[in-house]
Amino acid sequence: MPLKILTIEDDPAITTFINLLLTIYEMQVVVANDGVTGIELARTESPDLILLDLMMPVMNGWEVCQTIRSFSQVPIIVVTAVSNREQIISALAAGANAFMEKPISIEDLVAQIKHFTGY
């Protein structure tokens, strides 16, 4: 059974890119283009891992992370263009397991996914 990766990201170009790349590694990708949908999919889809952007409208990644942590311990990797040290620390404090700065290397991303899932 392939790993199920939930990507919560408001940029459709990035979600398409991640989807294409991870399917090469035989992973199933579920996409949410906003935080509210992402939280619902985290509840209903039982992902093996979540990739989460921080800068999103309506509900930002920090809020999404904290909300998911209230009901799940699924690994969360923040993938974002934010590189401010305080924001990174606050994302980890909100419950993220790891942080990756865009642009990401697919090899590094897959290595992180494997690390957190044991895949």
Residue keyed to tokens 């980890």: 92
> What is the residue-wise DSSP string for 45-108?
S--SEEEE-S--SSS-HHHHHHHHHTT----EEEEES---HHHHHHHHHTT-SEEEESSPPHHH
Cα Rg, the chain, nearest whole Å? 13
Give pLDDT tens digits for 80-93: 887 788 988 999 99
Residue 26: in which H helix or E strand, if any? none
In whole angstroms, what is the distance from residue 91 CA to residue 54 CA?
Answer: 8
Give me the pLDDT at residue 83, please: 78
Name the residue ranges covered by the structural domains of the chain: 4-117
28: left (phi over 0), alpha (psi -120 to 50) or beta: beta
User: What pTM was estimated for this model as a whole?
Assistant: 0.95
- Tracing tokens 């999919």 back to the chain, one arrives at 41
Extract the tokens encoding 30: 């579920």
- Indicate the CATH number of 4-117 among 3.40.50.720, 3.40.50.620, 3.40.50.2300, 3.30.830.10: 3.40.50.2300
Alpha-carbon distance of 62 to 65, in angstroms, equals: 5
> Which residues in the chain show pLDDT less than 50?
none
CA 52 – CA 79 distance, rounded (Å): 6
Q: What is the pLDDT of residue 108?
A: 95
